[in-house]
Amino acid sequence: MSPWSCHLRTLERRLPTRFNARFLIASLWWALVTIAVLARPLAAERSPGPPRADANANWLSSFTLSQSAEPVFLKANRLEFDYKNRVLVYRGNVEVRQADARLFAEEVQVALSGGEQFEIREIRARGNVRLEQGERWAQAREAVFDQFKRVATLNGDAVLHDGRNEVQGERVILYLDEQRSIVEGGKGRVQAVFYPGKLATPTVSVSEGR
């Protein structure tokens, strides 16, 4: 049996691991953090006293699955492995599930780099991308997760929903290590920048249509 065949069998077993799925799920959860921006400014004006410095950090804690020990399950109609370019492609009704969190897409590509360890370079979900957990959900036409840069991007009719709050934009950029999210939109859509754990009061800007 060739070394590549051994690697492929290993990847088929190990690629839907907690680390991979957590990165997908936790990255999209950062987008949902932006939703909190819509409700908090008005609440801050009505509430006496300074806002708590740890409020943003507490908000984040409910969305990250990085510490979860729950198993991760991945389903797809087809799995392809490009040996030369080291790209794994899951096609058709792709579903990633961990506990009560689910990610759906028509296709998920996982680009690998490095030697024997097969480090993940990029994860790209395409086609009706949707993430769900309880009342929270996010969707877009495409989601790209850069593992090395620690940047996640939602492209195309991105919608972020949490309870009664909702944000819409053409593009959502998530800087994971900086704990900063940017929502870009067209005319009249909301543009928001959120620094959880660093600013007591989130910053919100609204772009008016011409």
Q: What is the pLDDT along the chain (210 residues), one digit of tens a residue?
A: 444 444 444 444 444 333 444 544 544 444 343 333 333 333 333 334 333 323 333 323 333 334 456 676 779 999 998 888 888 899 999 998 877 878 899 998 888 886 666 677 888 899 999 988 787 788 999 988 887 888 878 899 888 777 667 777 888 887 877 877 787 876 656 655 444 544 344 433 344 343
pTM, two decimals, is 0.60
Domain total of the chain? 1
CATH number reported for the structural domain that contains residue 46 in this entry: 2.60.450.10
Domain that holds residue 94: 3-206
CB–CB of 66/86 below 8 Å?
no
pLDDT of residue 141: 95
